[in-house]
Amino acid sequence: MVVVTRRLPEVVEAVIAERFDAHFNRTDSALSASALADALRTADGVLCTVTDRFTAQHFAVSGLRAKVLANFGVGVNHIDLAAAKAAGVIVTNTPGVLTDDTADVALALILMTMRRLGEGERLLRTGAWSGWRPMFMLGHSPRDKVLGIVGYGRIGRAVARRAHAALGMRVQWWSPRDPKVDGPEDAGPADAVRVDTIDELLRTSDVVSLHCPSTAETRHLMNAERLRLMPSHALLINTARGDIVDEHALVQALRERAIAGAGLDVYEFEPTVLPDLRELEQVVLLPHMGTSTVETRVAMGECAVRNLTAALAGEVPPDRVA
């Protein structure tokens, strides 16, 4: 038996129903902690999502039956991996298939913040627009501006390629490890510059885009001190994970004009968004839409099903993380 914790594309659910004795969440509401614990006790596999938090207590339940958690998404910071491993539960994710769509949204946020498109759209909807004038809603051109990328994995490099080729931005990047590049089409721009420290990158970038995983080391990577290293005209973009940014510190930096603006698709307290963030005009807010295309969600589902199938057949799943 397999438990699927949220609604998935119909074509994916059809494959799951054909392949497994499946229990689907037809209400599409987040399962409670006790319901997730029940799933681990009653199912051989659980196809979960980033909204499902599995703690050490979940894996300590008596009568644990589940052999695999097939995560619908790349990030697995919502799962206690050490506890899963100790309990003998395999954890997988869905890398690669969501790179392009997430990079597209990051690029959209760069444009929206630099050109003040969110502000302009809201102004027009309120009926406050009085017509074109030379000094109305001036933003900044991205051409020849420096884009600093924190984390240079698949998505970070995809953003770098887009920003360089389409917007004429100069790219610099920082990562604690050398990136794994599979081929020329997966690399960043040839003239992208690697900087030695994240602090150096923050001081010298016009736009900073975050593309690192959520770990104990990256939690609040962007704190009050680091935000104030950025130039006052700089913008912060986050399509990675919400807890990489100390959002209370971000609000303070924005209110004090320590930085000029931000574009966010993920949030520290998701799905709650700080009221102060919602009130700030220089912030563009999206409801975690980085992978929200039919094509990518189907591909993510297919990837999760492959992992689930392999693990339950006693084989090594292709995208095992724990």
Q: Can you give the pTM of this predicted structure? A: 0.95
Q: Domain boundaries in the chain?
A: 2-97+293-312, 99-285
Q: Quick one: pLDDT at residue 61? A: 86
* Interacting residues of 29 by C-beta distance below 8 A, sequence separation 6+: none
Q: How many C-alpha atoms does 263 have within 13 Å on its Cβ side?
A: 25
* Interacting residues of 107 by C-beta distance below 8 A, sequence separation 6+: 159, 162, 163, 166, 167
* Interacting residues of 154 by C-beta distance below 8 A, sequence separation 6+: 95, 96, 99, 186
Peptide bond into 275 cis (omega under 30): no
Task: Supply 59's token pair.
Answer: 């894996």
Question: For 222, which DSSP code?
Answer: B
Task: Supply 34's token pair.
Answer: 């006790």
**Sign of the dihedral through C-alpha 225, 229, 230, 232:** positive
pLDDT over 90 (residue 89): yes
Mean of the pLDDT values across residues 87-109? 97
CA gap 69, 84 in Å, rounded: 9
195, 205 in Cβ contact below 8 A? no
Q: Catalytic amino acids?
A: 241, 270, 288
Question: For 243, which DSSP code?
Answer: G
Percentage of residues in the chain with pLDDT exceeding 70?
100
Could you tell me the fold of the domain covering 2-97+293-312? Rossmann fold (3.40.50)
Note the pLDDT tens digit of each residue in 263-305: 999 999 999 999 999 999 999 999 999 999 999 999 999 999 9
Q: Quick one: pLDDT at residue 292? A: 97
Mean of the pLDDT values across residues 51-78? 95
Note the pLDDT tens digit of each residue in 49-64: 999 999 999 999 889 9
pLDDT over 90 (residue 95): yes
CA gap 217, 138 in Å, rounded: 38
**Sign of the dihedral through C-alpha 226, 227, 233, 238:** positive
Cβ burial, residue 200 (10 Å; 0-12/13-18/19+): middle
Note the pLDDT tens digit of each residue in 142-167: 999 999 999 999 999 999 999 999 99
Coil vs helix vs strand at 119: helix
Q: Quick one: pLDDT at residue 265? A: 98
Note the pLDDT tens digit of each residue in 166-196: 999 999 999 999 999 999 999 999 999 999 9
322, 90 in Cβ contact below 8 A? yes
Q: Quick one: pLDDT at residue 103? A: 98
Q: Which ranges in the chain belong to alpha helices (H)?
A: 10-19, 33-42, 56-59, 81-86, 99-114, 117-125, 154-167, 198-203, 224-227, 247-255, 275-279, 294-312
Task: Give all strands of the β-sheet with 90-92 in edge-to-edge order.
Answer: 22-24, 2-4, 45-49, 68-72, 90-92
CA gap 272, 294 in Å, rounded: 25
Say if 2-97+293-312 and 99-285 have the same CATH topology.
yes
CA gap 74, 71 in Å, rounded: 8
Note the pLDDT tens digit of each residue in 198-255: 999 999 999 999 999 999 999 999 999 999 999 999 999 999 999 999 999 999 999 9
Superfamily of domain 99-285: NAD(P)-binding Rossmann-like Domain (3.40.50.720)
